[in-house]
Structure 1
Amino acid sequence: MFFTRNREKTPLDKIREELKKKSKNTFQPPHHLSLQDRKLLEKIRRETENLNLNNVTRTKAYLDFYLRYPEIKWAFLGHMVSRNGGWNMTDLKGEFLPKLLSKKERNSFFNFLERGNWLIFQDVYPQLLVYEESLRQNRPLFYLLTYLNISTFMETIWSHFWQNQDTYILCIALVINEQSYLHQRVIQHPVYQKEVLHKFEFFLQDLLSFNNILFPYGDGNLAGQTLHQFESLHERIMLGKRLYSVLFRNKDFLRQVVNWAKGHPHTGSRKDYWPDIFNHVKEGLPGLTYPLRLKGCKLRKGARRFYSPRLEHAWKNVLQPEAEKGDWFKDNQIVDYLVDDNNTVDGEIKHEYCKTLERLEVAALAKKTFNFLE
């Protein structure tokens, strides 16, 4: 007789089992909420709403949380990605895009970016606050997440993290959650499909810095990654995993990026990381034609800097409609993304980003010349 030895269950096996159980017990009776629980939920909703005013307030909130709880790595990854979201928003009022897109097109693009940024914050920040309160009370409070319309996937992951302190699994799970949460509400939303994604496919993929996620560090240095298929959920999750590798695999690099972030409060202007190239006020006389100013990541001698406004001067705060209800989690296979590939990713992006800027400058100049000749 042959006996097979039972393989010890891995953390991911346990997560799969727990999710499987939950999917079978859809009609579980709600957890009895105490008065203390109800007050806490109200406090969390109020604090989230107060900080969800605009990209600058959200981005700062993520960094502040990470500095209090550095084990929550997503908070810093979210901070850096949210900075990029702010730069994309102000680009719409900056040097190039007003020459390439109509006012209506730029407004549509901003609404798309702002809705996504707002939705992610109102989903993830309550999770962070529940974790913070769990630490204060020295007991897990993740049963409260369902009352905040958080996916059952994340309730399972947070409970796992409380027991195992696996920072990688938590961070990547939050990447999966936020991208899956956005997928139907923004990426596949028929309005954004029509007005943004299909209309600006060329701009998104080939022209805009929209697809470059930049991590500034040191003095004028940039690392990061590029996304080539924005509409693909798989590609966005894999981008998140690569960004994790760039940011967290090298402790010295992480220290430099964190120091940069602490020393450069987010304003939305690209001047934050590259004051040699960008300025938040317009330089030179309006209406003058200009030669190409950028060459090899540097301005030509005597050339004025590119205009990149602060968010507060570019866009007003937007009152968003309530988030659409519903749990995105349907398929256990999503857990496969939590496997740590242990990849080391080269974060070199400065050269590619400079090429993007050069293409934008050429396109804007060509459009201006074409309009002049018409």
Structure 2
Amino acid sequence: MKISWSNNKKITKQSYIKIKEELQKKNKNKPSSFPEHNLTYGERKLLKDIKKTTQKWNINNVTRTQAYFDFFLQYPEIHWALLGHMVSRNGGWYMTDLKGDLLTRLLSEKEQENFFLFLERGNWLIFQDVYPQFLLYRHSKNVNKNLFYLLPYLDVSIFMETIWNYFWQYGDCSLLAIATVINEQSYLEKRVIKHPHFKKTVLNTIGFKLYDFLRFNHIIFPFYKNTTTDKPELIGDTLYQFSSLHERILLGKRLYSLLFQQTPTILKSVLLWANRHPHTGSRKDYWDHLFHHVNEMLPGHHYRRRTKECQLLKGAPRIYSPPLQFAWKNIDHPEAEKGDWFDDWRIINYLVEDEKFAGGDINDNYCKTIEKIETTIIAKKAIFLKREE
């Protein structure tokens, strides 16, 4: 990645060098473990409370998503909390899609379950990594003292310890948000994306390749274009190479820019919508004219095209999109894999700000994706019936 410096960059050359030197020093002298007996009673109790609170909210996608939003409302300087909230909403919608009208006709029950476990594991891992950081920041604010030296005892990367220290001193909200994007995607890389189990059961399957081919991988942010309408518009972006760490980080940066750097109106409009619509996991949350949490399709009927340009055809039932609580049971996760992902300081090159993301208009692409999935369902049924003849 080529780096250039100018006055309008969020991170200056001096800051870049400072962060680089700190990371190099920490990585060189990184202890193999962080035993809690070296801490005071108060520090050990704080860590225990943080872990307990994190566990309380890390039950399912709905509880995690709400926890992010509540934290942002309390600490709006932590931009990633809102970005994480909106992206986590999308994670929940993808989870319930697996039990909705469309994907149940394209994926087997085993594929649905494998895809859900893949999405759920990633959602769970990110929360158990990032939420303790937020809680430690809250306590640092309450006692007016930098406590980020405790992050390694929460199995948080030394990368984020360095970034939080920088944020505590300089208050750069954008840099902290982008660093968190880098951290969370890097944290997932070995634990989910390159994990042999998920590569075998999800990423290397025909079902996932179909999923990717249909471009059913949009990240959408509903927002009110004006306060007089009940139907929100959509902005967002699309991830084309899910397995690429580079592409996931760049997507996170674009989505951050979309929320916080385009216009203040976008941020206010997204917040207005999110406040009015608590996350349930059903796509009815944003478009109840097209989706419904009750299945309106009569049993035994073949699927027929229902939509055109994200409007229902006359007389067509809405697309079934169940709430998360009716789609999937809560999962008891095995403990997160240990280890610090950080081993190369050059990852900080992603902190250098790109040009502001000028895109975001996703309505048409999203509508075409739904129509493409409907076409695939109908074609699959036609092939199946032909084979039966």
Shared fold (TM-score, shorter chain, > 0.5): yes
Distance 1:230 1:167 in 2: 27
The amino acid that maps onto 2:356 is N
The amino acid that maps onto 2:146 is P
Deviation at 1:366, TM superposition (A): 2.2
Alignment-derived partner of residue 3 in structure 1: none
Matched residue SS, 1:321: coil
Q: Is 1:208–1:360's contact at 8 Å kept on the other side of the alignment?
A: no
Match of 1:237 among 229, 249, 254: 249
| Cα deviations by residue, 1:244-287 (Å, 9 ceiling, x for unpaired) | 11111111110000110011000000000110100000114211
Report the aligned-residue RMSD.
1.5
> Within the alignment, does 1:117 sit opposite 2:117 as a pair?
no
Alignment-derived partner of residue 77 in structure 1: 83
Match of 2:209 among 202, 211, 223: 202
Distance 2:153 2:176 in 1: 20
Alignment-derived partner of residue 183 in structure 2: 177
Deviation at 1:201, TM superposition (A): 4.0
Q: Is 2:77–2:173's contact at 8 Å kept on the other side of the alignment?
A: yes
> Within the alignment, does 1:25 sit opposite 2:29 as a pair?
yes
| Cα deviations by residue, 1:171-210 (Å, 9 ceiling, x for unpaired) | 000000000000000000111111111113422322152x
Distance 2:13 2:85 in 1: 34
Unaligned runs of at least 5 residues, structure 2: 1-11, 225-230
> Which range moved further: 153-162 or 198-207?
198-207
TM-score, normalised on structure 2?
A: 0.91
> Within the alignment, does 1:367 sit opposite 2:370 as a pair?
no
Matched residue SS, 2:361: coil
The amino acid that maps onto 2:239 is L
Deviation at 1:29, TM superposition (A): 9.2
The amino acid that maps onto 2:319 is F
| Cα deviations by residue, 1:115-173 (Å, 9 ceiling, x for unpaired) | 00000000000000000000000001001100000000000000000000001110000
The amino acid that maps onto 1:203 is L
Q: Is 1:71–1:167's contact at 8 Å kept on the other side of the alignment?
A: yes
> Within the alignment, does 1:138 sit opposite 2:138 as a pair?
no
> Within the alignment, does 1:306 sit opposite 2:312 as a pair?
no
Matched residue SS, 2:47: helix
Q: Is 1:92–1:98's contact at 8 Å kept on the other side of the alignment?
A: yes
Matched residue SS, 1:216: strand
Match of 2:299 among 286, 305, 309: 286
The amino acid that maps onto 1:138 is N
The amino acid that maps onto 1:321 is P
**Number of residues paired by the alignment?**
366
> Which range moved further: 163-172 or 31-40?
31-40
Deviation at 1:346, TM superposition (A): 1.2
The amino acid that maps onto 1:124 is V
> Within the alignment, does 1:323 sit opposite 2:336 as a pair?
yes
Distance 2:161 2:106 in 1: 44
Distance 2:336 2:181 in 1: 19
Distance 2:320 2:369 in 1: 16
Unaligned runs of at least 5 residues, structure 1: 1-7
> Within the alignment, does 1:343 sit opposite 2:356 as a pair?
yes
Alignment-derived partner of residue 16 in structure 2: 12
Distance 2:33 2:344 in 1: 23
Deviation at 1:230, TM superposition (A): 0.4
The amino acid that maps onto 2:234 is L
> Within the alignment, does 1:100 sit opposite 2:113 as a pair?
no
> Within the alignment, does 1:48 sit opposite 2:60 as a pair?
no
Alignment-derived partner of residue 226 in structure 1: 238
Distance 1:16 1:117 in 2: 29
Distance 2:211 2:41 in 1: 48
Alignment-derived partner of residue 273 in structure 2: 260
Alignment-derived partner of residue 248 in structure 1: 260
Matched residue SS, 1:10: helix
Distance 1:371 1:359 in 2: 18
Share of identical aligned residues, percent?
A: 57
Distance 1:316 1:290 in 2: 27
Q: Is 2:215–2:240's contact at 8 Å kept on the other side of the alignment?
A: no
Distance 2:308 2:171 in 1: 47
Matched residue SS, 1:125: helix
Deviation at 1:308, TM superposition (A): 0.3
Q: Is 2:284–2:290's contact at 8 Å kept on the other side of the alignment?
A: yes
Q: Is 2:303–2:377's contact at 8 Å kept on the other side of the alignment?
A: no
Deviation at 1:297, TM superposition (A): 1.7
The amino acid that maps onto 2:302 is T
Alignment-derived partner of residue 64 in structure 2: 58
Alignment-derived partner of residue 8 in structure 2: none
The amino acid that maps onto 2:214 is L
In structure 2, relative to structure 1, the CA distance for the partners of 1:172 and 1:9 (3 Å cut) is: closer
Distance 1:54 1:45 in 2: 16
The amino acid that maps onto 2:201 is E
In structure 2, relative to structure 1, the CA distance for the partners of 1:97 and 1:28 (3 Å cut) is: closer
TM-score, normalised on structure 1?
A: 0.95
